[in-house]
């Protein structure tokens, strides 16, 4: 392990990170958001999942610095009387969880199929890549809307509300695998021509071992780059679906469903219900994308910056 | 060299026998690409690059057979087909009397231990994500699943010692080494399974001249100590003179001359070999007697009829344009594929 730590410590990654202010700022903001949202049961002033702790009389209270504000609710309350700050903390946690697990599913699917397509070539490659083309010709949102709407209609809203988080992960994860498969396939095509692959073939290793132990580790940098962008995309997709009423249910809101639930009241003056979660969502997606940009520049050997 | 007159005999000295080996790489892969309009009709035509065309070659136990030829003549393809990295289009390969070109991967495993390969580019032939130790341990562990850690460690140390790489560097990654050191590690990887036959595909052409000699000497030492047999692919004739016991000269995917090294350099028979040998720079006064070949190497997609060399050969006559010459034995243990030599037209 010390060997890998040494390698990491000497790497250009860390060096460039220390010199890039944007990357450092983005990383700190992201870290702050992740830590705050995942410790929300400990630090949130209220538990928005507990119906007993919510009083409908507290609904629509503006942020505390406004005239009608209540010092108990720093960022005000929503239409049901939930504390916005606590609800947003819990919602950010849900959004990040969905983003991470959807990307995990995408990457596992995409990496395996991309490896197989690139390494074996020929008919397997043509078949998998045409499959990816077909998948890409439907937009993620369209697939998700159809699947989620059909599920909701056929199994009832109650079951849907229980399974919403898994369904979202599954749908976003499956709909986006071609992004990974294409990237991985392209790098595999470049790597498999190198002589070290011939060398292990001469040793007699099987294709599975060659793919997983020798080729995959050498295609990691593009995977890392698209992963960051894909996390941001998955969070956005989830927010969009929730905004359309197909995402997380009202009693377990994500950032997207919070924005949606506040949208009805925005014209009656309750701007805070939509605005605060929207700001958090924009910041979250922005810092992840900025980190992804930085990572892409660092891992691209053709882009040497001072 | 007497057994060379009987090429198909079961001579005990032959480790590797290549017979009629051909490899063609298809250019037109899809069905639609194969369709052409010709004279108003739709015809299906498949095009391919004929990299090697009917090569017969024997490698004898304990020798260093050098395969030489210019770029694109198919020498690397021969090496790759022999190692099973490419499937031959036609022909057979026998190792120690056993046909190996049509074996399934699991039955090929015992031969994987006996045959190893050293590659041209030391910057690409080592996995950049594995340490030297991991690279070296892999073949050993794979072929001896029950091996103990202590034994493996000793073996790695011994082999690293024998190729002149300090065993204390075993936890380093390839990028921490120079090209020559990497090639030594590459050789060490090939030696880990104690092979008896090594195919070296231009192992020194990517190295600095001062390092070339060191690596070449290392390979010669290994040959002596481990009783290795080499098939050495190169385009550097001075290396051949230093290293090879026999030389096979290739042109456009076929063999034109096969001779013991000294005989080949002193009395080249084939017109192409003559031109090749005369092109070696010499430190002599006056104008060197270069044989200048006219024209280009024909494309391996549409091979010429007859002798492949006839359009550039000063001795070519009508027979050369229609009939493809085969290898025949001439005195001194040489085998030459040339009508002119056979008929005594070439001096």
A15 found inside a domain: no
Closest CA in chain B for residue A190: B124
Cβ neighbours around B277 below 10 Å, total: 17
When scoring A7, A202, A218 by the number of chain B Cβ atoms within 10 A, the one with the most, hence best to mutate, is: A202
A17 found inside a domain: no
Calculate how close chain B gets to A167, using CA atoms only, in Å. 37
Calculate how close chain A gets to B112, using CA atoms only, in Å. 6
Closest CA in chain B for residue A201: B85
B142 near A205, Cβ under 8 Å?
yes
Name the helix (H) or strand (E) containing A285.
helix A272-299
Q: For residue A188, how many C-alpha atoms fall within 13 Å in the half-sphere facing its CB? A: 28
Give me the phi and psi of B336, to 5 degrees please.
-130, 140
Query: Which among A3, A195, A206 has CB closest to B125?
Result: A195
Domain containing residue A92: CATH number? 1.10.3720.10
B124 near B201, Cβ under 8 Å?
no
Domain of A231 in residue numbering reads as: 82-299
Name the helix (H) or strand (E) containing B135.
helix B132-143
Three-state DSSP at B274 gives helix
Closest CA in chain A for residue B200: A199
Tens digit of each residue's pLDDT, chain B (347 residues): 344 434 433 445 889 999 999 999 988 777 777 777 877 788 887 888 999 998 999 999 989 999 998 888 889 999 999 999 999 999 999 998 889 988 888 888 899 999 999 999 988 999 988 889 999 999 999 998 888 889 999 999 999 999 999 999 988 888 889 999 999 999 999 999 999 999 999 998 888 888 898 999 999 999 999 989 999 999 888 888 888 899 999 999 999 999 999 989 888 889 999 888 888 877 877 776 778 888 888 888 888 888 888 888 888 888 888 888 888 888 777 899 988 888 888 77
Mean pLDDT value across chain B: 87
A20 found inside a domain: no
A238 found inside a domain: yes
Q: Which residues of A, range 188-217, sit inside 8 Å of B by Cβ?
A: 194-196, 198-206, 214, 217
Between chains, do A202 and B84 touch, taking CB under 8 Å as contact? yes
Between chains, do B109 and A204 touch, taking CB under 8 Å as contact? yes
Residues of chain A with C-beta less than 8 angstroms from the C-beta of B193: 203
Question: What residues contact residue A254 under an 8 Å CB cut-off, 6+ apart?
Answer: A91, A94, A95, A98, A238, A239, A242, A247, A248
How is A131-199 classified by DSSP, letter by letter?
A: HHHHHHHS-HHHHHHHHHHHHHHHHHHHHHHHHHHHHHHHHHHHHTHHHHHHHHHHHHHHHTTSHHHHH
Calculate how close chain A gets to B105, using CA atoms only, in Å. 8
Report the C-alpha gap between B169 and B136 in whole angstroms: 12
B115 near B95, Cβ under 8 Å?
yes
Query: Which among A7, A199, A206 has CB closest to B119?
Result: A199
Query: Which among A7, A195, A204 has CB closest to B121?
Result: A195
A92 near A259, Cβ under 8 Å?
no
Question: What residues contact residue A30 under an 8 Å CB cut-off, 6+ apart?
Answer: A284, A287, A288, A291
Query: Which among A7, A194, A198 has CB closest to B85?
Result: A198
Residues of chain B with C-beta less than 8 angstroms from the C-beta of A216: none
Closest CA in chain A for residue B171: A3
**What's the number of domains chain A is made of?**
1
The 10s digit of each residue's pLDDT in A39-70 is 888 888 888 888 777 777 777 788 878 777 77
> ipTM of the predicted structure?
0.85
Residues of chain B with C-beta less than 8 angstroms from the C-beta of A195: 119-121, 124-125
The 10s digit of each residue's pLDDT in A201-238 is 999 888 999 999 999 988 888 898 889 889 888 988 88
Token pair of B111 as six digits: 């031969």
B60 near B197, Cβ under 8 Å?
no
Calculate how close chain B gets to A202, using CA atoms only, in Å. 6
Query: Which among B112, B120, B129 has CB closest to A202?
Result: B112
A185 found inside a domain: yes
Token pair of A175 as six digits: 């709909």
Closest CA in chain B for residue A7: B173
Whether the CB of B189 is below 8 Å from some CB of chain A: the reply is: yes
Residues of chain B with C-beta less than 8 angstroms from the C-beta of A218: 127-129
Report the C-alpha gap between A60 and B277 in whole angstroms: 95
Under the banding of pLDDT at 50, 70 and 90, the label for residue A162 is confident
Between chains, do B138 and A198 touch, taking CB under 8 Å as contact? no
Report the C-alpha gap between B311 and B293 in whole angstroms: 10
Between chains, do B193 and A203 touch, taking CB under 8 Å as contact? yes
Length of chain A in residues, anyone? Answer: 306
A281 found inside a domain: yes
A66 found inside a domain: no
**Quick check: A297 pLDDT over 60?**
yes
When scoring B81, B127, B135 by the number of chain A Cβ atoms within 10 A, the one with the most, hence best to mutate, is: B127
Question: What residues contact residue B321 under an 8 Å CB cut-off, 6+ apart?
Answer: B305, B306, B307, B310
Between chains, do A194 and B124 touch, taking CB under 8 Å as contact? yes
A96 found inside a domain: yes
Statement: B2-281+288-343 belongs to CATH 3.40.50.620: no
Residues of chain A with C-beta less than 8 angstroms from the C-beta of B121: 195
* 3-state DSSP of A70-99: CCCCCCCECCCCCEHHHHHHHHHHHHHHHH
Query: Which among B116, B121, B129 has CB closest to A218?
Result: B129
Which residues face B21 on adjacent strands? B55
> Can you list the positions of beta strands (E) in chain B?
14-26, 35-38, 41-44, 48-60, 64-68, 90-95, 98-99, 115-118, 197-201, 229-233, 246-251, 254-260, 328-330, 334-336
Residues of chain A with C-beta less than 8 angstroms from the C-beta of B130: 214
Under the banding of pLDDT at 50, 70 and 90, the label for residue A1 is low
How buried is residue B293: exposed, middle or buried, by Cβ count under 10 Å (0-12/13-18/19+)? middle
Report the pLDDT value the prediction gives residue A304, as an integer from 0 to 100. 53
């Amino acid at each position: 392990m010390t060997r890998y730590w040494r390698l990491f410590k000497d790497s250009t990654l860390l060096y460039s990170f220390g010199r890039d202010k944007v990357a450092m700022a983005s990383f700190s903001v992201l870290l702050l958001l992740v830590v705050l949202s995942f410790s929300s049961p400990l630090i949130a002033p209220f538990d928005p999942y507990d119906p007993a702790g919510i009083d409908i009389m507290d609904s629509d209270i503006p942020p505390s610095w406004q005239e009608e504000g209540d010092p108990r609710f720093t960022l005000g309350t929503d239409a049901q009387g939930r504390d916005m700050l606590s609800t947003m903390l819990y919602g950010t946690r849900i959004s990040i969880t969905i983003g991470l697990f959807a990307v995990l599913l995408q990457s596992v699917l995409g990496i395996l199929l991309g490896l197989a397509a690139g390494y074996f070539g020929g008919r397997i490659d043509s078949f998998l890549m045409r499959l990816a083309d077909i998948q890409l010709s439907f937009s993620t949102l369209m697939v998700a809307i159809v699947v989620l709407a059909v599920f909701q209609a056929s199994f009832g809203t109650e079951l849907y509300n229980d399974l919403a988080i898994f369904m979202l992960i599954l749908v976003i994860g499956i709909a986006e695998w071609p992004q990974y498969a294409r990237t991985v396939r392209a790098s595999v095509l470049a790597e498999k021509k190198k002589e070290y692959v011939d060398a292990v073939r001469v040793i007699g290793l099987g294709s599975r071992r060659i793919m997983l132990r020798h080729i995959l580790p050498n295609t990691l940098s593009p995977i890392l780059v698209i992963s960051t962008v894909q996390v941001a995309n998955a969070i956005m997709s989830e927010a969009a679906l929730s905004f359309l009423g197909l995402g997380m249910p009202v009693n377990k809101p994500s950032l997207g469903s919070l924005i949606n639930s506040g949208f009805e009241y925005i014209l009656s003056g309750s701007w805070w219900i939509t605005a605060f979660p929207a700001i958090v969502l924009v910041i979250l997606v922005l810092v992840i994308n900025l980190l992804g940009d930085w990572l892409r520049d660092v891992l691209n050997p053709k882009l040497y910056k001072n | 060299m007497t057994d060379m007159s009987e090429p198909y005999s079961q001579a005990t000295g032959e480790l590797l026998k290549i017979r009629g080996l051909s490899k063609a790489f298809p250019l037109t892969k899809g069905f639609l690409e194969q369709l052409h309009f010709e004279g108003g009709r739709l015809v299906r035509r498949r095009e391919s690059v004929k990299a090697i065309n009917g090569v017969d070659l024997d490698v004898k136990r304990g020798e260093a057979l050098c395969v030489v030829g210019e770029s694109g003549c198919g020498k690397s393809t021969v090496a790759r087909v022999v190692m099973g990295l490419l499937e031959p289009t036609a022909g057979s390969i026998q190792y120690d009397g056993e046909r190996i070109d049509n074996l399934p991967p699991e039955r090929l495993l015992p031969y994987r231990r006996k045959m190893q390969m050293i590659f041209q580019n030391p910057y690409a032939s080592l996995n950049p994500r594995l340490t030297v130790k991991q690279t070296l341990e892999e073949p050993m562990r794979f072929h001896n699943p029950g091996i103990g850690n202590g034994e493996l460690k000793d073996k790695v140390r011994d082999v690293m010692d024998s190729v002149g790489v300090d065993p204390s560097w075993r936890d380093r990654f390839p990028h921490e080494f120079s090209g020559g050191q990497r090639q030594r590690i590459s050789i060490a990887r090939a030696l880990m399974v104690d092979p008896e036959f090594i195919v070296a595909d231009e192992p020194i052409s990517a190295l600095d001249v001062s390092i070339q000699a060191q690596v070449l000497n290392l390979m010669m030492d290994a040959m002596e100590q481990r009783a290795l047999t080499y098939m050495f692919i190169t385009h550097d004739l001075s290396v051949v003179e230093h290293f090879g016991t026999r030389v096979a000269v290739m042109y456009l995917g076929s063999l034109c001359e096969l001779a013991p090294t000294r005989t080949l350099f002193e009395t080249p028979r084939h017109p192409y070999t003559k031109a090749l040998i005369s092109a070696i720079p010499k430190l002599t006064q006056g104008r060197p007697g270069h044989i200048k070949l006219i024209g280009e190497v024909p494309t391996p997609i549409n091979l010429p009829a007859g002798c492949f060399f006839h359009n550039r050969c000063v001795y070519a006559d009508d027979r050369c344009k229609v009939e493809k010459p085969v290898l025949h034995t001439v005195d001194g243990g040489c085998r030459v594929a040339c009508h002119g030599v056979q008929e005594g037209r070439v001096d």
